[in-house]
Amino acid sequence: MTRYVRNMRGYGQNPPRAAWPNDAKIAVQFVLNYEEGGENCVLHGDAASEAFLSDIPGAAQWLGQRHWNMESIYEYGARAGFWRLHRLFTGADIPVTIYGVATALARSPEQVAAMKSAGWEIASHGLKWVEHKDMAADEERAAIAEAIRLHTEVVGERPRGWYTGRCSENTVQLVAEEGGFDYISDAYDDDLPYWLELEERDQLIIPYTLEANDMRFATAPGWVTGQDFYTYLKDAFETLYAEGTDGAPKMLSIGLHCRLVGRPGKLAALEQFVDYIQSFEGVWTPRRIDIAEHWQTHHPHQRIERPSMMDKARFVESYGGIFEHSPWVAEQAHDLELGPAHDCAAGVHNVLCRAFRRAPKEARLKVLQAHPDLAGKLAAAGRLTAESTSEQAGAGLDMLTDDERARFTQLNTDYVAKHGFPFIIAVRDHDKPSIMAAFERRIGNDSTTEFAEACRQVERIAEFRLQDLLP
Tens digits of residue pLDDT in 388-420: 666 666 656 666 677 888 888 899 899 999 999
CA distance 409 to 412: 5
Say if residues 388 and 394 touch (Cβ distance below 8 Å): no
Residues identified as active-site: 371
CA distance 304 to 290: 27
> In terms of C-beta distances under 8 Å and separation of at least 24 residues, what long-range contacts does 165-170 make, across chains too?
165/33, 165/99, 165/125, 165/126, 165/129, 166/52, 166/126, 166/129, 166/130, 166/131, 166/132, 166/133, 167/132, 167/133, 168/132, 168/133, 168/134, 168/135, 168/140, 169/133, 170/135, 170/137, 170/140
Say if residues 327 and 316 touch (Cβ distance below 8 Å): yes
pLDDT confidence of residue 393: 66
| 101 CB-side CA count, 13 A | 22
What does the pLDDT look like over 137-165, one tens digit per residue? 999 999 999 999 999 999 999 999 999 98
Query: What does pTM read for this prediction?
Result: 0.88
Q: Helices (DSSP H) in 325-401: which residue ranges?
A: 327-334, 345-358, 361-370, 377-380, 386-394
Identify the sign of the CA torsion 135, 141, 146, 151. Answer: positive
CA distance 111 to 116: 9
What percent of the residues of the chain are helix, what percent strand, and what percent coil, each to the nearest 5?
A: 50, 10, 40
Q: What is the CA radius of gyration of the chain?
A: 30
CA distance 152 to 143: 14
> In terms of C-beta distances under 8 Å and separation of at least 24 residues, what long-range contacts does 48-55 make, across chains too?
50/74, 50/129, 52/166, 53/215, 53/218, 53/219, 53/257, 53/259, 53/260, 54/218, 54/259, 55/217, 55/218, 55/259, 55/260, 55/263
CA distance 288 to 61: 33
CA distance 431 to 437: 10
Q: What is the dihedral of CA 108, 109, 114, 119, to 10 degrees?
A: 100
CA distance 423 to 434: 14
Sorted by sequence, the CB contacts under 8 Å of residue 193 that are 6+ apart come out as 183, 204, 205, 206, 207, 251, 291, 292, 295, 299
Q: Which amino acid is at 363?
A: A
- pLDDT tens, position by position, for the chain (471 residues)? 688 889 989 998 889 999 999 999 999 999 999 988 878 677 788 777 776 777 767 777 778 878 778 777 888 889 999 999 999 999 999 999 999 999 999 999 999 999 999 999 999 999 988 888 899 999 999 999 999 999 999 999 999 999 998 889 999 999 999 999 999 999 999 999 999 999 889 999 999 999 999 888 878 778 888 899 999 999 999 999 999 999 999 999 999 999 899 999 999 999 999 999 999 999 999 999 999 999 999 999 999 999 999 999 999 999 999 999 999 999 999 999 999 999 999 999 999 999 999 999 999 999 999 998 876 554 444 555 667 666 666 656 666 677 888 888 899 899 999 999 999 999 889 888 898 899 999 999 999 999 999 999 999 999 999 999 998
CA distances from 242 to 248, 250, 282 (A): 9, 10, 11
CA distance 452 to 253: 49
CA distance 409 to 405: 6
Nearest to 205 by CA among 224, 191, 220: 191
pLDDT confidence of residue 388: 63
114 burial level (CB within 10 Å; 0-12, 13-18, 19+): middle
